[in-house]
């Protein structure tokens, strides 16, 4: 192995940190559960709900960085999705759902892979843990508590799946 190859390996990768991933997952889960309690109460404090969803998105981005360190193939996709968070927050529920949950904005040229290929399906979890809190907040703004609960529950399931996937 050449010296430059060794340098590439040493400096191109951030080492996967399971403890950091666990911390991000705990924050995501704790914030999500607190938000679910609020939604179940039927009384939504918009500022508190936004604080919870923003914390979830930040934790999802942190978890995504850990995902990239474990699976570098995901980097182009996740960097693109993470960079689109401000734009997603300004979209309607339907636009965010179509473009980022269902993948209309995630074409091969943009994200470097075909997400419809079976071997790439696993990459939906690190995308969806970012998208679901945003969809939850958008559903709350639309006064659609049922959709908010569904989106939040999906995000909570997917953070668990992501941690399980990366723990192998």
Alpha helices in the chain, H assignment, sequence order: 3-12, 18-41, 46-70, 75-83, 85-90, 93-96, 108-111, 124-141, 145-166
Tell me the percentage of the chain whose pLDDT exceeds 70.
92
Q: What's the pLDDT band for 107 if we cut at 50, 70, 90?
A: very high
pLDDT at residue 166 greater than cutoff 50: yes
Average pLDDT over residues 86-112: 96
Domain that residue 32 falls in: 16-166
The token pair at 154 is 């999906």
* Rounded CA separation 137/147 (Å): 10
Structural domains counted in the chain? 1
Q: pLDDT of 31-40, one tens digit each?
A: 999 999 999 9
Residue 5 lies in a domain: no
Residue 68 lies in a domain: yes
Residue 7 lies in a domain: no
């Amino acid at each position: 192995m050449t010296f430059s190859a060794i340098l590439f390996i040493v400096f191109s990768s951030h080492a996967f940190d399971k403890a950091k991933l666990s911390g991000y997952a705990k924050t995501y889960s704790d914030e999500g559960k607190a938000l679910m309690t609020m939604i179940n109460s039927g009384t939504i404090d918009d500022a508190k709900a936004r604080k919870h969803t923003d914390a979830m998105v930040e934790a999802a981005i942190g978890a995504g960085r850990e995902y990239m360190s474990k699976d570098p193939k995901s980097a182009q996709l996740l960097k693109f999705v993470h960079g689109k968070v401000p734009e997603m927050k300004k979209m309607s529920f339907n636009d965010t759902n179509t473009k980022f949950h269902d993948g209309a904005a995630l074409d091969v040229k943009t994200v470097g892979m075909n997400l419809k290929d079976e071997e790439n399906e696993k990459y939906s979890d690190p995308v969806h843990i970012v998208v679901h809190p945003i969809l939850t907040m958008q559903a709350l703004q639309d006064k659609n508590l049922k959709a908010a609960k569904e989106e939040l529950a999906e995000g909570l399931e997917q953070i668990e799946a992501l941690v399980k996937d990366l723990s192998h």
